Amino acid sequence: MTLDTAVHTHPDPIAEPRQRVLDAAELLFMERGYNAIALRDIADALGMKQASLYYHFPQGKEELYVAVAERAFARHYAGMAAALSGNATLEVRLNRVAAWFGSQPRMCLMGMVHADLPALHPEQTRSVTQSAFLGLFRPLVEAFANAQAQGEIGTAEPNMLAGAFLALLDALSIGMTMSHTPERMTMAAELINLFLNGARAGAAHTREA
């Protein structure tokens, strides 16, 4: 399966510099958020002047941010599909997802939903939200629903499981940034282990029964 995604299907000579801009912008936007980053910061990272960015993204900052987000979620759509494919157990799949997520530029999902999306025009907010749903949330929901059908885990709401799992992945990248990480993948595996044991055992929202 072609994991290098649908982004550069043919090495369009006009599309390549655009990717360089997106790369630099993604690092900054995803690291510190839409409001914290000035176009000037991105231009500096590229060794160019702020005004030059308007050649590549005539609509300015918001267009650039949306393009960054859409591209990132498209990449995740492919990466998640690969991570969740095949006949492996849910545990193996989730560890693949964590590995994929960790291999990507840091993305603070919670911060994005909380602070970035509200700063965009409503239509853009909708679009980016949809991409995030398709790229990250839905694949997980389906994986959990699948595992339930196989009896691998209990009957907890798949939407909740997906949300909780994404929250843990999100926290993991932050925890890594802060604490002097005791081997990233070790902690990911421990977290997944914890999560899966919970999903296997409990399930239904009744515990007083």
Partner DNA sequence: GTCTATAAAGGGATAGAC
Partner DNA sequence: GTCTATCCCTTTATAGAC
From the list a copy of itself, DNA, none, partner contacted by residue 60 (C-beta under 5 to 8 A by kind): DNA
Q: How many residues bind DNA (CB under 7 A)?
A: 22
CB neighbour list of residue 208: distance below 8 Å, 6 or more residues apart = none
From the list DNA, a copy of itself, none, partner contacted by residue 186 (C-beta under 5 to 8 A by kind): a copy of itself
Decide if residue 46 touches a copy of itself (CB under 8 A): no
Q: Residue 77 corresponds to which tokens in the numbers above?
A: 């759509």
Rounded least distance, CB 160 to a copy of itself, Å: 6
What is the spatial distance between Cα 156 and Cα 160, in angstroms, rounded to a whole number?
8
For the chain, the three-class secondary structure string (H helix, E strand, C coil) is CCCCCCCCCCCCCCCHHHHHHHHHHHHHHHHHCCCCCCHHHHHHHHCCCHHHHHHHCCCCHHHHHHHHHHHHHHHHHHHHHHHHCCCCCHHHHHHHHHHHHHHCCCCCHHHHHHHHHHHCCHHHHHHHHHHHHHHHHHHHHHHHHHHHHCCCCCCCCHHHHHHHHHHHHHHHHHHHHHCCCCCHHHHHHHHHHHHHHHHHHCCCCCCCC
- Report the site for a copy of itself in 128-187 (rule: CB under 8 A): 156-157, 159-161, 163-164, 166-168, 170-171, 174-175, 178-179, 186-187
Among 118, 126, 130, 181, binds a copy of itself (CB under 8 A): 118
Rounded least distance, CB 172 to a copy of itself, Å: 8
Interface region with a copy of itself, contact rule CB under 8 A, candidates 10-18, 27-35, 52-60, 64-72: 27-35
- Report the site for DNA in 27-56 (rule: CB under 7 A): 37-40, 43, 47-52, 54-56
From the list DNA, a copy of itself, none, partner contacted by residue 176 (C-beta under 5 to 8 A by kind): none
User: Under the rule (CB under 8 A), what is the footprint of a copy of itself?
Assistant: 32-33, 35-36, 108, 110-111, 113-115, 118-119, 156-157, 159-161, 163-164, 166-168, 170-171, 174-175, 178-179, 186-187, 189-191, 193-202, 205, 207
